[in-house]
Amino acid sequence: MVQIPAQPYDFVFDPAKAALLIIDMQRDFVEPGGFGAMLGNDVGQLRGAIAPLVALLAAARQAGLFVMHTREGHKPDLSDLHESKRLRGKGTTTIGDSGPMGRILIAGEPGHDIIPELYPIAGEPVIDKPGKGAFYDTELADIVAQRRLTQLIVCGVTTEVCVHTTVREANDRGIDCLVLADCTASYFPEFHEAALRMIVAQGGIFGWVTDSASVISALT
Ligand code: C5J
């Protein structure tokens, strides 16, 4: 057990019961021409999280910490896409339409894949999720139960959408989440800040927040 300095108070890290969960670091969110850009966002806002995540992922692998990745997306026949989600945004293009990186947010298309800098290696589950939360309609709860995980170090994009939804889902399942401020990002910097504040408010109502340097130091 290692104490990691965090907000609202130190996180007692138990690597044997912990995993690194990297949310949706897909080309569709962080590169031009994908789902994020289609919704009118400046994808450059997310790219600052890549370098700290690369360093964190290397340290986690070196330390033997269990690593999981998620990808938001849908089956090519759209059978797992709620009509409400398809219509949301009211843009000229939507999920399933063709874009510069293939069909937007569709499994198997180039845009759906994880960016090369953070590409999963053998032994790291990639959890495909049709929703914002990583527990909804996925195998994540089974993996967590089988491995008796009680702690998740949560990173990725976007802070207030898929990261936050996943942290809330994990919290309700009795899992402690440590969110890394510099390894998460939002298209809206003010939402990023507010989302992190919401996690630690009221004595850590959803979990803890720290930075990658604190976790790397605990891992090495
Ligand atoms: C969004 C996500 N923002 N991964 N997805 O639609 O946060």
% residues pLDDT > 90 (the chain): 94
For the question of residue 10 being annotated catalytic, the response is no
Average pLDDT over residues 117-138: 98
Position 217, amino acid: S
* pLDDT value for 67: 98
Whether 17 and 149 have beta carbons less than 8 Å apart is answered as yes
* pLDDT value for 90: 72
Using most ligand atoms within 8 A of CB, pick from 46, 85, 104, 158 the residue to mutate for ligand 1. Answer: 158
Q: Is the pLDDT of residue 91 over 80?
A: no
Q: Is the pLDDT of residue 88 over 90?
A: no
* pLDDT value for 2: 95
Q: What is the pLDDT of residues 14-53, one digit of tens each?
A: 999 999 999 999 999 999 989 999 889 999 999 999 999 9
Whether 95 and 89 have beta carbons less than 8 Å apart is answered as no
pLDDT-wise least confident of 7-16, 35-44, 112-121: 35-44
Closest residue to atom 4 of ligand 1, CA basis: 162
Average pLDDT over residues 92-108: 93
For the question of residue 85 being annotated catalytic, the response is no
- Whether the ipTM is more than 0.90: the answer is yes
Q: What is the pLDDT of residues 168-207, one digit of tens each?
A: 999 999 999 999 999 999 999 999 999 999 999 999 999 9
